[in-house]
Amino acid sequence: QVQLVESGGGSVQAGGALRLSCSASRNINSIYRMGWFRQAPGNEREWVASIALWSDNKYYADSVKGRFTVSQDNAKGTVHLQMTTLKPEDTGMYYCAAGFRPISRVPSRFTEANFDSWGRGTQVTVSS
């Protein structure tokens, strides 16, 4: 089973930027896609962005489109989430996830069911 470790969280003011990283180890060649989710207190975990590792296709939730960028570093087995123009509503625990199963049709919005392994999360706090 792949292990995922997130890093890069922190506290910033609105309008600031953060770069999250997710390092994968073990069986990384079996990963089809990786994604980022976030969860604010009292809310359900929501999908933020995904990247298909073989095609490098990238997908974003409408709430972060144009502000967040997901990328991969194949050599290091690492996926990044560059977050800019951060807003207080971006606050939450950010989780990295890996999916091992191919999907026949890319959904308009990924869900937890599209992923099989999860990291423990890294906290992002954006103050106004």
Relative to beta strand 92-99, strand 33-39 is antiparallel
Given a contact cutoff of 8 angstroms between Cβ atoms, the answer to whether 128 and 16 are in contact is: no
pLDDT the model gives residue 45? 97
Q: Alpha carbon 34 to chain centroid distance? A: 7
pLDDT the model gives residue 104? 87
Q: Identify the segments of the chain with pLDDT beneath 70.
A: none
| Long-range CB pairs of 75-79, under 8 A, 24+ apart, other chains included | 76/23, 77/23, 77/24, 77/25, 77/28, 78/21, 78/22, 78/23, 78/24, 79/21, 79/22, 79/24, 79/34, 79/36, 79/51
Backbone angles phi, psi at 38, to 5 degrees: -145, 155
pLDDT the model gives residue 74? 75
pLDDT the model gives residue 77? 83
Given a contact cutoff of 8 angstroms between Cβ atoms, the answer to whether 97 and 118 are in contact is: yes
CB atoms within 10 A of CB 73: 11
pLDDT the model gives residue 26? 77
Q: Which two tokens stand for residue 122?
A: 């890294």
31's CB contacts (< 8 A; 6+ apart) are: 2, 24, 53, 98, 99, 100
pLDDT the model gives residue 61? 98
